[in-house]
Structure 1
Amino acid sequence: MAGDAEIDFVGLSHELEAQELDAPGGVASPQLYGQLLALYLLHNDTISSKFLWKRIPNNIKQGNPELSLIWVVGQHMWKRDYPSIYESLRKDWSDSVKPIMNALNESMRRRAMNLVRKAYASINVDDFAVFMGMPVAEAKQAAIVEGWSLDPQSKFLTPKKIELVSTVTLPNEQHLSVLTDYVSFLEN
């Protein structure tokens, strides 16, 4: 796996699901289970990750501690415990899951940034750093890069709100006309 940015995680996920289904005796390799579990977490598909965890045979879980470590990340995601998620991600992962776990770490930080942006008018820098799972200096820099403002005296960050693009609404008559044309096209 060359660079993390070059990996098609969605395609890899589909490929691994197919390999799991085709596995002899219905039991895949521990590496496949680890990658698939990590990919489900990357895609924020905690339900699929939970069902995958339940169908992994116990002997494979017990023989591969990395699987349990990946699942711990999933459990923290389920609880939305961001500081614990980041702590769980700070492991020395095997080469097969390292790019996925690195991408998961970045994805979690983007999600956290967007949550703070939507939920807070202002937030203390220390609280923001904990929520982002990074040191205060890095958290400040990440916020400033996003265009947030920092009050140095109160140490509060003010998120830059994302401007919502308004959708064009059609008058009811025009909307009905479009639907009528569409149905007429389908009938002919």
Structure 2
Amino acid sequence: MDFSPLNEALVSKSYLKIADILDELMLQAASEGVAYQDDWPYSIHLLGHIIADDINSARFLWKSMPGVVKESVAEVAAIWRIGQQLWLRDYAAVHEAVRGFDWSAEVRDLVLAFSGKLYTKRIFQLLLSAYSTISIGDTARFLGMTEEDAANYAQLQGWIMDPASGMLTVTKQPVVKEQKLDSSKLQRLTEYVFHLEH
């Protein structure tokens, strides 16, 4: 099996492409009659779906994995714990699952990319849409940070902290709407300019 597209995605840190690449390679292997490959990167494949925020495909992959892989590859099971917490929407437990395993060098960068920027940004957007005020403690738990780091992160995003109450006031970012030009208005403007010039 030629894993060069996967290796290129890993080197270029194009982590959102990983699941699609491996899905395609898995379909190719199946079409050639190969049911199970001992060297298949199940950890990376499962994590690729999680990074792409496609928990349904991650569940399907988990269910279709050979039992021997689920039982004997601890890292695959640890990645699935992350997926389970995402499925249950237990956002704080996702961070615990990430920190609760000693990841291999091959997977560590992927896990850090997911838990760092990607997951934190998703959860922050969720908090932004769901709350008008939230405690620093809850924010820290959702983001998997210390209270100090969570308060600093939120303030950098424009939220306002009340140190006395320990609450953060969510500041919604203004939505930029595209203005659509009405063709009849454009026609009238053209006629007006034409009239002024002549």
TM-score, scaled relative to structure 1: 0.82
Aligned match for 2:155, one of 139, 144, 160: 144
Where does residue 67 of structure 2 map in the other structure? Answer: 58
CA contact (8 A) 1:30 1:60 kept: no
Displacement of 1:173 in angstroms is 7.6
In 1, are the aligned partners of 2:132 and 2:171 still within 8 Å (CA)?
no
1:16-27 to structure 2, matched below 5 A, reads: 16-23=22-29, 25-27=34-36
Map 1:79-118 → 2, pairs under 5 A: 79-90=88-99, 91-106=101-116, 107-118=118-129
How much has 1:12 moved relative to structure 2? 3.0
CA shift at 1:14, angstroms? Answer: 3.0
Counterpart of 2:170, as a letter, is P
Q: What is the deviation of 1:157?
A: 0.7
Q: Which residue of 2 aligns with 1:163?
A: 174
After TM superposition, the score normalised by the length of structure 2 is: 0.78
By how many angstroms is 1:75 displaced? 0.6
Evaluate the alpha carbon distance shift between residue 18 and residue 5 of structure 1 in structure 2; reply closer, same or farther with a 3 A threshold.
closer
Kindly indicate whether the alpha-carbon contact (under 8 Å) linking 1:128 and 1:139 is maintained by their aligned counterparts in 2.
Answer: yes
Structure 1: runs of 5+ lacking an equivalent: 175-188
CA change 1:136–1:66 in 2 (3 A) is same
Counterpart of 1:153?
Answer: 164
Cα separation, partners in 2 of 1:145 and 1:67, compared to 1, 3 Å: same
Q: 1:46·1:74 contact (CA, 8 Å) conserved in 2? A: yes
The answer (yes or no) to whether the contact 1:31–1:96 under 8 Å persists in 2 is no
Cα–Cα, structure 1 residues 11 and 119, in superposed 2: closer, same or farther, change >3 Å?
closer
Q: Aligned-pair distance for 1:31?
A: 5.4
- Alignment check: 8 A CA contact 1:150 1:157 kept: yes
Query: Cα gap change, 1:30/1:160 in structure 2, threshold over 3 Å: closer, same or farther?
Result: farther
The aligned residue for residue 192 of structure 2 is none
Counterpart position of 1:126: 137
CA RMSD for the aligned pairs? Answer: 2.4
Distance in 2 between residues matched to 1:30 and 1:82, nearest whole Å: 32
Higher gyration radius (CA): 2
2-structure distance, mates of 1:81, 1:62:
24
Question: 1:50: how far off?
Answer: 0.5
Give, in angstroms, the shift of residue 88 of structure 1. Answer: 0.2
Residue deviations 1:152-171, cap 9 Å, x none? Answer: 11111112211112243565
> Would you say the 8 A contact 2:124–2:143 is kept in 1?
yes
Letter in 1 for 2:114: L
Q: Which residue of 1 aligns with 2:48?
A: 39
